[in-house]
Amino acid sequence: MKQATFDPTNIICGAFFILVGAVFAWQSLEVELGSWLRIGPGGMPLALSLLLILLGLIILLAALREVGEPVGAIAWRGIVFITLAPIIFGFTVRGLGFVGAVFITALFASFASLRMTPLRALLLSAALAAFSTAVFSYGLGLPFERIGPWLR
């Protein structure tokens, strides 16, 4: 059997970037674009969409020039844990506050990896919660509740 002369993983990635960029570019055309001197609410999404399409084209063209491995098994565990993490954050941020929600979300998302141990997950979650609080609450001064009513 002849081996493919392209990288199927990067072809999928490039095509996905192009598709997502095209969808967002199309949606941004429904909003006022403005001009380059006074950009409207649709101007920045259009510019970022075009950059995403360009990145997808670069990845796609590079994938056609190199030989890659076939696409392996889909990592369903990672997809599920990472997809549900922001949903968990949204459901817990009002009750736990920012610190607790970041901690729980990071703890949940860390188990997307099969190599993560419970101790490392706890340490990673605590470090991420501390760092996020330092940056967003103390550094940037964003007005949110650090500790929510469920923890008081």
Is 118's pLDDT higher than 90? yes
Residue 50 above 80 pLDDT? yes
Residue where the block lists tokens 């999404």: 45
- Is pLDDT larger for residue 67 or for residue 136? 136
Statement: residue 27 has pLDDT above 80: yes
pLDDT band of 25, cuts 50, 70, 90: very high
DSSP assignment of 106-120 equals HHHHHTTSTT--HHH
Question: What's the mean pLDDT in 33-47?
Answer: 86
Q: What is the mean pLDDT of residues 104-133?
A: 96
C-alpha to C-alpha distance for 98 and 141, rounded to whole angstroms: 13
State the pLDDT confidence band at 152, using cuts at 50, 70 and 90: confident
The two structure tokens encoding residue 54? 């360009």
Contact present, 113 and 78 (Cβ < 8 Å)? yes
Beta bridge partners of 39: 34
**Per-domain residue ranges for the chain?**
8-65, 76-151
Confidence (pLDDT) at 4 = 58
**Please, which pLDDT band fits residue 3 given cuts at 50, 70 and 90?**
low
Residue 2 has pLDDT above 60, yes or no: no
DSSP letters spanning 74-87:
--HHHHHHHHHHHH
pLDDT of residue 42: 87
Check whether 66 has a pLDDT greater than 90.
no
Asked if the model's pLDDT at residue 5 lies above 80, the reply is no
